[in-house]
Chain A
Amino acid sequence: MSETTHHSAHHIDVKEFHPRARAAIHNPQIRQNFRKAMDGLMTKRKSAFEGWDLETLRDLGANIRMRALANLPDLLEQLEQKLTENGVTVHWAADGDEACEIVRDICLARDAKSVIKGKSMVSEEMELNHYLEDQGIEALESDLGEYIVQLAEETPSHIIMPAIHKNTTEISQLLHDKTGTDLSNDVEYLTANARLQLREKFRNADVGISGVNFAVAETGTLCLVENEGNGRMTTTVPPCHIAVTGIEKVVPKLEDVTALLALLTRSATGQHITTYFNMISGPRKADELDGPEEVHLVLVDNGRSTIYQDDELLDTLRCIRCGACMNHCPVYTRVGGHAYGTTYPGPIGKILMPHMVGLDEGRHLPTASSLCGACGEVCPVKIPIPDLLVRLRQEAVDGDKLHPAKVRGHGAKRGTVEAMIWKGWSWMHARPGLYRLGTALGARFRKLQPGKLGGWTQYRTAPKLAAKTLHERMKERSQ
């Protein structure tokens, strides 16, 4: 077996968040594309939940996911057993590299030369396309957004809408350059052309690779939510279907899917139901006319079982990948998905990626939030995202002796000067007399207050110290 180390050649430096964010903020096209798209998605979500008892539904969703996670090891075993009974081959991958190798071996065994892919964020996590290309296997994305991103040689900027950073004009130009379509702002024309190109690929592909939205343990069913029909084509036309998913996607019962699906589609795109909902329960049976001969499931860990060890961080794994947190995030809306430099951008990326790349690499991710709480408010499974951001900030600076940090790369952001500033701040504010003296002196000498305060006064005037503190005024009043 030829071993490649494609993951060590991580092409994007996650640490360089600031320059990428700055560039995005000063790019009016990016700003406009995201603002417009996110405004639309927020409105759609809101109207999709009208008439629903959303809080109760979110509680139900959260409970289903928490119950699944509480029994995760058993459920995974049950899932494997049921899938095996159904004729599906189950594989376990400790990380992205191992998952890639499993996919490669399945392809090699079938002498597969071309792969058609449905949308899968886990395959992005694995950087599967690059890996397969290096192995001489063509991997073509069939989700329209992913197809565009692949043509542009980019990565998805959103987990649900991978090409949301591009407007129609930009997409038209790209399709013109890469596939020879005419320049046009007629979305139907552009889509029809992409469809034509893809149809041929579906017919000839040796293997179809898809993601999984929910894996049902009791029945061994893989659920796939999609709008374009490409998911169904990917999983039924080629003679071999490989599904890849994170180990956290399992739910105990089929009935659990109802609530999660209701939450997922409304939270993601504001749809009551997607155009397609696939329930895959095995390969073609002897008396069936279509469907793949072989079905595989690759269960990918890639850091998830480490997250699972911590009672608080565990909540990260509730995620059903709807993207509502990024749609409602004022930071994501300003900088777009690529600024993060991570597979998963936005709030969920900020709490998930530090576990995958380490807090040393991802040290800036948890700080890139005003902790406004919009993400936690809309999360369909009630992940306390702001609390997890604070937890990771603490881990990044080793800030709590009572609860020692445990995430890989913890403490990387602790700087001597900053730590000393907080120590001094704490020392003064824990001593009321000293605090009163300090603030009263500040008020007395407020004319000496510096007019420039770093990043603050780049955009705003400096706040003005009052002539007398509230403490002083209350003191005078009581005399």
Chain B
Amino acid sequence: MVDPIKVYPAKPSKVYFYGTCLVDMFYPDAGMAGIQLLEREGIEVIYPEDQTCCGQPAYTSGYHDEARAVARAQLGLFPEDWPIVVPSGSCGGMMRKHYPALFKDTADDVKAAEIAGRIWELTDFLVNVCHIKLEDLGEPTTVAMHTSCSARREMGVAEVGPKLLGQLKNVNLVEQVRAEECCGFGGTFAVRHPEISGAMVSEKVDTLVNTGAREFVTTDCGCLMNIAGYAEKNQKPVTGQHILSFLWERTNGDGGKHS
């Protein structure tokens, strides 16, 4: 019942990159940024071609048979003992925290637990395994940060994003009121309870706008499409980016172009 203490591995020569379905379809730039940040740290990034989705949408909706079938298709993707890095606290949390429960009483229980132990949220990995040093090449700007609930509470990485942004000398990080409160995404929650979710995201956007920042960064694409989508639809003066895209654009020197 006590959360297992995180034991960070030594910096490896290779990692698996688990891109997540939202990054794959909607935010591939964030995925490329994450891969390039890792490569710049001298790590070879292996992108298993057969990856699809961690299974979380079905899992949190209660369809565990369906979630298990999809999750099982991911278990064979990581044969070597390299760390598996994920540009999302939410998908990372699913694989690290919930795979063992999902595969309990199945033939895959040991494998699922072994893989769960190798899952790392990417910003956490950059700070605490790569010990990354960032050199800011961008113009002065002010940003706010929204750490996803799963990054904060399942992966325990709430301190990491501000540390990374703190390394950027031209970036002024401001904190919104009730920073730790959920933005209202919650996967299918946003569709099952649109009014409640809408009330939550509207207040989140207001607190972000009230910081004076005109851009925010976040660890998770679910929060990003929720918060930025609300701001866009309601013409609120704030835009969002995945934190990895932001970090890469400010530090790579070519204005954010991807190879």
Contacts and interface: CB of A to CB of B under 8 A. Distances in A.
Partners in one complex: yes
B73 interface: yes
Most buried by B among A25, A423, A463: A463
A370 B185 contact: yes
B225 A460 contact: yes
Contacts of B32: 470, 473
Interface string B93-117: 0000000010001100000000000
Contacts of B26: 463-466
Interface stretch (B46-54, B134-142, B247-255): B46-54
Interface string B183-195: 0111111111111
B172 interface: no
Nearest to B227: A460
A3 B57 CA distance: 48
Contacts of A307: none
User: Interface of chain A, helix or strand or loop or mixed?
Assistant: helix
A471 B63 contact: no
Contacts of B233: 457, 459-461
B66 A458 contact: no
Interface in A450-470: 453-466, 468-470
Given A397-B61, A399-B62, A470 B232 contact: no
Contacts of B23: 470
A286 interface: no
A372 B73 contact: no
B126 interface: no
Given A430-B72, A432-B50, A402 B105 contact: yes
B245 interface: no
B57 A425 contact: yes
A52 interface: no
Interface in B28-50: 28-29, 31-32, 35, 47, 49-50
B59 A390 contact: yes
B194 A371 contact: no
Interface in A417-472: 419, 422-423, 425-427, 429-432, 435-436, 439, 442-443, 453-466, 468-471
B28 A470 contact: yes
A334 interface: yes
Q: Size band of the A side of the interface?
A: 35 or more
B63 A25 contact: no
Contacts of A466: 25-29
B149 A372 contact: yes
A400 interface: yes
A31 to B, nearest CB: 8
Contact of B25 (A390, A456, A462, A465): A465
Contacts of B176: none
B196 A25 contact: yes
Interface in A100-135: none
A59 B3 CA distance: 10
Interface in A216-269: none
Interface of A: 18, 21-22, 25, 31, 39, 59, 62, 66, 330-331, 334-335, 367-374, 376-377, 382, 387, 390, 393-397, 399-403, 413, 419, 422-423, 425-427, 429-432, 435-436, 439, 442-443, 453-466, 468-471, 473-475, 477
16 contacts: A330-B181, A330-B182, A334-B200, A370-B182, A370-B185, A371-B60, A373-B154, A393-B61, A402-B105, A429-B52, A432-B49, A439-B25, A456-B191, A456-B229, A466-B26, A475-B49
Interface of B: 1-2, 19, 21, 23-29, 31-32, 35, 47, 49-53, 55, 57-70, 72-73, 101, 105-106, 149-150, 152-154, 178, 180-182, 184-202, 225-226, 229-230, 232-234, 258-259
Given A399-B61, A432-B50, 20 more contacts: A21-B196, A25-B196, A31-B199, A330-B200, A370-B200, A372-B181, A373-B150, A374-B153, A393-B61, A399-B66, A422-B58, A423-B66, A455-B193, A456-B190, A459-B233, A460-B230, A466-B29, A470-B23, A474-B35, A477-B259
